[in-house]
Structure 1
């Protein structure tokens, strides 16, 4: 069994943007933890706490910089300096809640997916809007391919749209799930896309071709009542696929064969996000039980 360490935060606000007062208890704010995996897993210290006016639904780090983006139910995307804790800017344009965020590899372009059925692209250096992609349904999840040439969007209407990262045209629409697509993730080389859905399956797709997506695996990942698949992520070497479900379970799969490698009763409530460390030795899981857990996989 993997070793587990649990982080549960009840912070005192370190940073609160001026003219803004939180309308929820302080212990529901997002927190930036100081953790160094190379030094082993120890009790972390709270490095920063940032606040929105309503529920925060998404966070994303810009590659190779101190910029953290957060998306909120108040429709605003905010950028923060993690080194100083200072708010950098607010990106306005969405008309409904921002559900997910993804940075392109260069760290300059940020995609935000919203319940207003749009994905907006932002230049985080100028804080300007680059483009607005109008999707066929509520945009629930968004992910850039590793090379930035594709953008995948999981939709409320059971479909996945793949957009050309340069022309911003729809390359193809993937149909296969039978319910809401909650999560999408590209493999490290960008040829395979994984998706998790309320239909309780994890599916993978060959998206290397620009003309079509070929189905690869359909894993009945989390059977049982209400065991929706809320999150998926590939390991850095592309060999493992992690999935998290509404029943609190996390499972690791062989990404090529779809066979179960390991199952973990990880949380008391639904798992909302899963992420591997860059060396693949740690798995982070985030849950509705207000805990983030780090699991040693090797």
Structure 2
């Protein structure tokens, strides 16, 4: 019987795989994310806008559905509500967080914050947003009241933030190469793990709650057991700082990307390479579809990469519903 690894390798080697590119922004795309039911993909850009696309499951094609305008500075990160397929939150350099409703095609809330925001995440129950700014201040926002309910100022560089899948622990990665783990909602420090010798940039939890992964400036990807908080394997195939990570819907594949002109796709349980996606420029955002092996990503547009400015790309397999 063919293993999962063998099956996925065959899929990636097939000539029938889908590669689509959508020129939808006028400047670099900072963030891409699928909504919880996988019917929509959103992208946030340096051009201050958010685009929302609808997926045609019959053809595996995206079509642009909505454009959200209102931010006065770059949209640096976005995330969909974990349970409500129409609600989207964005973090911007204009010192605001906005919540958008895809049904109404408008912003339903604008929350003022104290700094230029660079990252955002939604709690698993959808009740709280956490946003981080360039001054390493984290703000926790009650989604119903749109009011700030807690703030935490850090004296070190805070990079990416995330709740665990149960929502009772809050994780952040630091410029010191460490992972800081807090109980939630009281935000008491529980553990500090020295995960990498260099800046720990990104963190991602698998949908099954078994593992989380971190990416670092040392070009390593570390996969951690959530329960034991131990590193179970390390991926070493990239050569530049790892900027973005995403687990597949079944938790069995991990995509990682950097300034390397490839996206590495690994089997989580073994760490072995399944495939790689060749890119024309550095890749700073990747996102697996929540139900199918479709990967959305966007590349940089610096220097000689203008041809990739504003592009969103999707890589996957036709008819592969799971």
TM-score interval, smaller chain: 0.7 to 0.9
1:206 Cα deviation from its structure 2 partner:
1.2
Change (3 A) 1:290 1:96: farther
Distance (whole Å) between structure 2 residues aligned to residue 218 and residue 266 of structure 1: 26
Distance (whole Å) between structure 1 residues aligned to residue 159 and residue 111 of structure 2: 19
Match of 1:183 in 2: 160
Match of 2:18 in 1: 46
Q: How many residues align?
A: 257
Distance (whole Å) between structure 2 residues aligned to residue 159 and residue 96 of structure 1: 19
Q: How far does the alpha carbon of each residue in 1:122-175 deviate from its partner, in whole angstroms, 9 at most, with x for none?
A: 001111111111222221111111210111112211222211121122121124
Distance (whole Å) between structure 1 residues aligned to residue 249 and residue 167 of structure 2: 16
Q: Does 1:206 align with 2:178?
A: no
Residue ranges of structure 2 left out of the alignment (5+ in a row): 270-322
Distance (whole Å) between structure 2 residues aligned to residue 155 and residue 248 of structure 1: 24
Distance (whole Å) between structure 2 residues aligned to residue 73 and residue 293 of structure 1: 25
Q: Determine helix, strand or coil for the equivalent of 2:222.
A: strand
1:177 Cα deviation from its structure 2 partner:
5.3
Match of 1:283 in 2: 254
Match of 1:100 in 2: 77
Match of 1:91 in 2: 68
Q: How far does the alpha carbon of each residue in 1:27-76 deviate from its partner, in whole angstroms, 9 at most, with x for none?
A: xxxxxxxxx99952332733421222111110011121421100111111
| CA RMSD, 1 decimal | 2.2
Equivalent position to 1:232, from 203, 206, 210: 203
Change (3 A) 1:172 1:37: farther
Q: How far does the alpha carbon of each residue in 1:88-133 deviate from its partner, in whole angstroms, 9 at most, with x for none?
A: 1211111111111100021111001111221111001111111111
Q: Mean Cα displacement is larger for which, 114-123 or 42-51?
A: 42-51
Match of 1:292 in 2: 263
Q: Determine helix, strand or coil for the equivalent of 1:54.
A: coil
Asked if the contact 1:217/1:258 (under 8 Å) is kept, the reply is: no
Distance (whole Å) between structure 2 residues aligned to residue 134 and residue 38 of structure 1: 49
Distance (whole Å) between structure 2 residues aligned to residue 244 and residue 175 of structure 1: 23
Match of 2:316 in 1: none
Match of 2:29 in 1: 56
Match of 1:195 in 2: 172
Distance (whole Å) between structure 1 residues aligned to residue 227 and residue 266 of structure 2: 22
Residue ranges of structure 1 left out of the alignment (5+ in a row): 1-35
Change (3 A) 1:193 1:114: same
TM-score, normalised relative to structure 2: 0.74
Q: Mean Cα displacement is larger for which, 255-264 or 197-206?
A: 255-264
Change (3 A) 1:289 1:237: same
Q: Mean Cα displacement is larger for which, 277-286 or 186-195?
A: 277-286
Runs of 4+ in 1 over 4 A off after TM superposition: 36-39
Asked if the contact 2:219/2:236 (under 8 Å) is kept, the reply is: yes
1:277 Cα deviation from its structure 2 partner:
2.0
1:222 Cα deviation from its structure 2 partner:
1.6
Match of 1:7 in 2: none
Change (3 A) 1:64 1:136: same
Asked if the contact 1:271/1:285 (under 8 Å) is kept, the reply is: yes
Q: Mean Cα displacement is larger for which, 249-258 or 108-117?
A: 249-258
Change (3 A) 1:255 1:216: farther
Change (3 A) 1:89 1:37: farther
Distance (whole Å) between structure 1 residues aligned to residue 45 and residue 170 of structure 2: 26
1:182 Cα deviation from its structure 2 partner:
2.0
Distance (whole Å) between structure 2 residues aligned to residue 89 and residue 241 of structure 1: 32
